[in-house]
Amino acid sequence: MCVNTPEPRLWQIRRMLNRVLTIIPTPAEDLPVGTVLLRRGQAASKALHLLSGRVAFGVIENGEMVHQLGVVEGPFWLEAAATMLGLPHAVDALAESPVTLQAMPLGQFKSYLKNLPEPVHTLMLDLAKAQRQQIEVAVSRLAKDADARFAEWLLRHAEPTDAQGSMAVILRDRKRLIAAQLGIAPETFSRLLKHLRERKLISGGGRVLNLLDPSGLQSLAGI
């Protein structure tokens, strides 16, 4: 769950985040093993700090962790990237042991971050964005088939093209690199393009793909 970042920088960032707990007193709560602490797609309404215990991250289906991405032990900030970026949680989190948590109101957490020195604040947001992208790719590969992953990728990279709300994706990377991001072969990527065109979900060629039916792509992506 951590971005590959030089340890001194990570240590400084963790130290600054932990200072929040001394500036804003936050009560602790004990929860039993098996408690679902975070759910994918759920709005990040609080900043969760794991004081002690083990927590698994991954994909939960029918109450069970069917795909696990990693395990962390306290002290640790749970899914801080989603909290900092104001995005829904990208992974599920399950207590693998009894845990002790501190839940800080989102407004107070963000207010503290905004008061950090500008270079530090910018660095933390950049790291959060990088981690978020890594997590989204990992979860997508675990939980979705190639069609759904590609549909989600198109929606995530779509840009408005006119005042009427039309959307398009500009392919800034080579197709083989995009295929690698999606965890598929280049031949599969070409097949997916053809398949989505036949379904009237996209049109165009070259480096510009027009999204004809964003709602249909959302349905295919499961979002």
Rounded to two decimals, what is the model's pTM?
A: 0.60
The correct CATH number of 7-142 out of 2.60.120.10, 3.90.1640.30, 3.10.20.340, 2.60.120.260 is 2.60.120.10
Which CATH number is associated with domain 145-221? Answer: 1.10.10.10
Taking only the tens place, the pLDDT of each residue in 172-194 is 888 888 887 777 788 888 899 99
Which residue has 């207010």 as its token pair? 111
Segment 134-147 shows an average pLDDT of: 76
Which of 31, 44, 121 has the alpha carbon at shortest distance from 80? 44
- Where does the pLDDT of residue 17 fall: very low under 50, low under 70, confident under 90, or very high at 90 and above? low
What's residue 11's pLDDT? 53
Q: How far apart are CA 120 and CA 12, in angstroms?
A: 9
Q: Is residue 144 over pLDDT 80?
A: no
Radius of gyration of the chain measured on its C-alpha atoms = 20
Domain ranges of the chain: 7-142, 145-221
pLDDT value of position 179: 84
